[in-house]
């Protein structure tokens, strides 16, 4: 007698596992798509990169105004290159150490020393922003890197009063109720005094310096560089924050009153590093950190 065949087995657990695995794979895939697409949407549309360069040293030297003449200047506070002195050249800066973040920035930055009751005070937050603002978007798109060895002076160390040409700006950190001024301002207790200074961002395309250390550079007019200075370069913004507050009559700069604030910049960025930051951050209008990558 023939035996009856057993009924076919229904393997439902395996089917259920397969369905669960498929759903999990779909979820993982959609999550990966969301994660990989996030950086593009997180990019901040600001044409910027920066260098944070702490205080290095003080000297009565100025390698732009008084090259080769140590002690000829009022006292300056130096940032970035740790070697800057009256005899500095772009070659000496390139071969020296820098305290900047990023360390590849071998440039020298300096300002007149600030005094409170005749005691020198150095800023505790020192940032140098490289910006594409201040010009039309089509001008930002053709900004060029600073030429290697470019020297720029911004501000007027010999000013006798604030006027329409004064570019220094003083304010108080986290104290918006205090209006900014061209001279020192009175900051509430515990609020740091801060200095902002914008350098000119149009170059004549020829000279790394000029007799008055200013004529080879210009500020933009109506959102574009003037015909005399046709090459747009990044706007260098110097931001210094000093741990002082209160009555501004106690403050002075080595050059005089607050409206004599000025800044000097001696470019020693490696050519390729500066060009990469201009190409990746400034021209496409992307906010980058000290490493020159989107922040």
Q: Give me the residue spans of the domains in the chain.
A: 47-282
The answer, yes or no, to whether residue 170 has pLDDT greater than 80, is yes
Residue indicated by tokens 């390139």 = 94
DSSP H or E segment with residue 12: helix 12-42
* Residue range 230-283, pLDDT digits in tens: 999 999 999 999 999 999 999 999 999 999 999 999 999 999 999 999 999 999
Percent of the chain residues topping a pLDDT of 90: 84
Residue indicated by tokens 């201040």 = 134
Q: 288 with 294: CB under 8 angstroms?
A: yes
Enter the DSSP assignment of 89.
Answer: -
The values of phi and psi at residue 42, to 5°, are -90, -5
Predicted confidence at residue 1, as pLDDT, reads 43
* Residue range 46-99, pLDDT digits in tens: 999 999 999 999 999 999 999 999 999 999 999 999 999 999 999 999 999 999
The answer, yes or no, to whether residue 287 has pLDDT greater than 70, is yes
The model's pTM is 0.85
Q: 267 with 150: CB under 8 angstroms?
A: yes
Predicted confidence at residue 295, as pLDDT, reads 86
Q: 187 with 121: CB under 8 angstroms?
A: no
Confidence of residue 41 (pLDDT cuts 50, 70, 90): low
Predicted confidence at residue 73, as pLDDT, reads 98
Higher pLDDT, 33 or 221: 221
Euclidean distance between the first and final Cα of the chain, in Å?
82
The per-residue pLDDT of the chain, averaged, comes to 90
* Residue range 100-131, pLDDT digits in tens: 999 999 999 999 999 999 999 999 999 999 99
Confidence of residue 32 (pLDDT cuts 50, 70, 90): very low
């Amino acid at each position: 007698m023939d035996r009856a065949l057993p009924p076919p087995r229904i393997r439902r657990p395996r089917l259920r596992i397969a369905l669960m695995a498929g759903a999990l794979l779909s979820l993982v895939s959609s999550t990966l798509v969301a994660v990989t697409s996030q950086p593009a949407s997180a990019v901040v549309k600001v044409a910027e990169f920066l260098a944070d360069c702490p205080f290095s040293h003080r000297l009565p030297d100025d390698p732009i105004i008084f090259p080769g003449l140590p002690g000829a200047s009022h006292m300056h506070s130096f940032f970035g290159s740790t070697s800057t002195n009256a005899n500095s050249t772009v070659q000496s800066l390139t071969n020296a150490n820098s305290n900047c973040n990023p360390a590849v920035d071998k440039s020298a930055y300096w300002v007149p020393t600030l005094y409170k009751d005749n005691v020198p005070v150095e800023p505790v937050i020192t940032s140098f922003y490289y910006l594409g603002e201040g010009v039309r978007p089509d001008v930002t798109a053709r900004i060029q890197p600073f030429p290697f060895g470019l020297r720029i002076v911004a501000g007027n160390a010999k000013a006798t009063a604030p006027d329409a040409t004064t570019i220094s700006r003083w304010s108080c950190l986290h104290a918006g109720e205090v209006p900014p001024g061209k001279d020192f301002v009175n900051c509430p207790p515990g609020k740091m005094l801060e200095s902002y200074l914008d350098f000119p961002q149009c170059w004549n395309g020829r000279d790394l310096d000029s007799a008055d250390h200013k004529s080879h550079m210009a500020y933009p007019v109506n959102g574009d560089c003037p015909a005399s200075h046709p090459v747009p370069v990044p706007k260098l913004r110097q931001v210094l924050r000093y741990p002082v507050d209160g009555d501004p009559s106690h403050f002075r700069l080595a050059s005089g009153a607050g409206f004599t604030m000025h800044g000097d910049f001696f470019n020693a960025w490696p050519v390729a590093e500066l060009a990469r930051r201009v190409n990746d951050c400034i021209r496409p209008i992307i906010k980058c950190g000290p490493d020159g990558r989107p922040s």
